[in-house]
Each structure stands twice: as structure tokens, then as C-alpha cells.
Amino acid sequence: MIAYVARLAFGKLLVEDSRSFSSRPSKGSSARLRSCDSGLISVFAVRILDLLRLALPRPRRRSRQRPARGPVIVRESRRNERQRLMADDRDIGNDRRPWTADDRLDAAAFHRNHVAIWTVLEKFLRGKTGDVLEAGSGTGQHVAFFARHSPGITWWPTDLNDHHLRSIAAWTAHENLANVRPPRRIDLSNPGQLAEMNEGSGALLAVFCANVIHIAPWRVAEGLFAGAAHCLRPDGRLFLYGPFKRDGRHTAPSNEAFDAGLRNTNPEWGVRDVDEVAALAQHNGLTLAEITDMPANNLILTFERRSE
């Protein structure tokens, strides 16, 4: 390409210079030619450079990306955060996806919170025997993990969702757990169903409930506490895991956004306040014994029987 351009430039230069020399007088032509050698070479070089600039492709200018304006970034961040929260520690049962062909479901939140939750439960259950009921077992992954780490405890998983009940049974079979009873369907808004689990004998060592009362009407919380108060043995505990408000305020902006999303989905849903839950416990003969901070702005509220 460069050789072609050079020949083209040299040809054009000779034609133009021959025309210019043909119009000049012939006297002293050799001297003029010698004096013009350096000028001819200079003109020739300039002509080649000009044609090269025209023939060679120009480099593309890199477009400089302008940063998005502040409000756009903020809105995008808030939307992504809300979507993450809805799929994070606040899984709603119908959104959980099958993991295998044997009806087991996989909740992403389980992989993030089961160790932290078990750390709290294990402190109470260590060295004890008895029955523990999980209210709203979801996929069944939590109860399978807990049962595997507490062979002296008999676990009673429950749920209202048919897909969850099948998943609980599938996880129990997959883990070959002899200390997990078959899952039972329970509507927590009916305290009588929870009491029927142990035929009203008050023999439960503990009741554990995770991520339920904020994605359910308040009557579900009422039924849970009434049933737990009826079923727990004197030294029993009720463990309640999830996001909560404290003194009427959210503990993090992410919880506030999550709460707004829940209430938009169903006006009867929403993040509950610790004080209103504690008042409900008092009404049912239970008292708030401990509040444990958990990852992702969650809490575990531990309730025990109120001393007379």
C-alpha cells in the first residue's frame, strides 16, 4: 500500500514538474536542475506524506463514557437492593426452585443463615432431649440440618404449603434422618392445630419459627404464640427469627425498603416491632428473655414461660 502511494505521488510529481520545466527557457537548464534537486526531493516527500494521510485509515477516537448522574445511580441501587432482599433472607415459599427431581427445594437463604441460627439454638439444646417443633419449615433444609446436628432431639416439621411438605419429606429421606417426624400441615392462624401436635400435653422442648410472621397476617403470629404457650413444657423456649423493628424504627434502610415491598404485596404483611411481639407474648403467658443480633439485620427473639 505504501509503495503504491509512493509511486502514485512520484508519478504525479514528475508530471507536474515536467509541465513546469517545459514552460521554462532552456538556457542554463542543467544548473537549474541541480538547484532544484533539493527542492524537488522536499516537495516529493511532502506529497507522499499528504497522500499517506489520505490513504491510511484514521484511528477511531475512544468515546469517553460519562458517569451517570447521581439520582439515576441512587435509584438503580435502591431497586437492586430491594430485589436482592426479596430473594435473600426473606424467601417466600412459592419462589423457591426445585433443586433435584425428588421434590427437594433449595432456598438461597438457607445457605446464608443456617449456621448462625444453629449457633443460637445449639446453646439451648446442648445436652437436652425432647421434641422441637418447627413452625413453617419451608423447604425443610433447616430442620434437616438441625436434626443432623442433634441426634438426641426429635424434630417435628410443619407447613401449610403442599410443595414445602413434599420438599421436607424429600430432604428427610435424602439425609436418612431417623429423628425427624413426617411433616404435618398446620395453619398457624389456628392455635388449636399447633396444640394438637402433642395432643395438648405441653411436652415441647422448643418451638422454632423463621421468616414467617412478617409474610403473614398478624393473626398467624397470634396463633403461633397461643399454640406455643399451650405446648411448651415449663423449661421450654420459643425462638423467633427474622427482621424486626425496634422502638418503632427499622434497624436498617434495607429493612425499611423490604417492609414497604411487603406491605405493597399484602397490606396485612410487614416487618413487626419487637415491642408488639413482646406484648403478644405477655398476653399468652410468655416473656421476652433474650434478643440476639443476627447477620443481614435480622434478630432472634427468645421467649420463655413467664415466672409466676
Can you give the residue range of the structural domain that contains 9? 1-21+40-55
Same domain, 144 and 6: no
- Looking at every residue in the chain, the average pLDDT score rounds to 79
- Model pLDDT, residue 283: 97
Task: Report DSSP state, residue 59.
Answer: P
- Model pLDDT, residue 158: 96
Bigger pLDDT: 264 or 46? 264
Query: Residue 74 falls within a domain, yes or no?
Result: no
Number of domains in the chain: 2
* Segment 247-282, tens digit of pLDDT: 999 999 999 999 999 999 999 999 999 999 999 999
Q: Is the pLDDT of residue 48 over 70?
A: no
Kindly state the percentage of the chain with pLDDT values over 90: 61
Greatest CA span in the chain, whole angstroms?
135
Q: Is the pLDDT of residue 59 over 60?
A: no
Tally of CB atoms within 10 A around 294: 17
* pLDDT classification of 307: cutoffs 50, 70, 90: confident
The pair phi, psi for residue 132, each rounded to 5°, is -125, 130
Query: Residue 60 falls within a domain, yes or no?
Result: no
Based on its alpha-carbon atoms, the radius of gyration of the chain, rounded to whole angstroms, reads 39
* Segment 174-215, tens digit of pLDDT: 999 999 999 999 999 998 888 777 664 458 999 999 999 999
Burial pattern 227-254, b for ≥16 Cβ within 10 A else e, equals bbbbbbbeebbbbbbbbbbeeeebbeeb
Residue 201, all three cell numbers: 400435653
- Give me the half-sphere count of Cα atoms (radius 13 Å) on the Cβ side of residue 264: 8
Residue 240, all three cell numbers: 423467633
Bigger pLDDT: 239 or 196? 239
Task: Assign 3-class secondary structure to 175-186.
Answer: HCCCCECCCEEC
CA distance 308 to 302: 18
232 to 119, 240, 278: CA distances (angstroms): 21, 14, 17
CA distance 95 to 107: 9
Same domain, 97 and 157: yes
Same domain, 179 and 237: yes
Closest among 270, 266, 243 to 255, alpha carbons compared? 243
Q: Which residues have C-beta within 8 Å of that of residue 142, sequence separation ≥ 6?
A: 110, 114, 117, 134, 210
Q: Pick from 41-55, 103-117, 194-208 the range whose average pLDDT is largest.
A: 103-117
Bigger pLDDT: 43 or 71? 43
Same domain, 50 and 108: no
CB pairs under 8 A, 24+ apart, for 14-18? none
Query: Residue 123 falls within a domain, yes or no?
Result: yes
Same domain, 2 and 151: no
Tally of CB atoms within 10 A around 204: 23
- Model pLDDT, residue 113: 96
* Segment 122-174, tens digit of pLDDT: 999 999 999 999 999 999 999 999 999 999 999 999 999 999 999 999 999 99
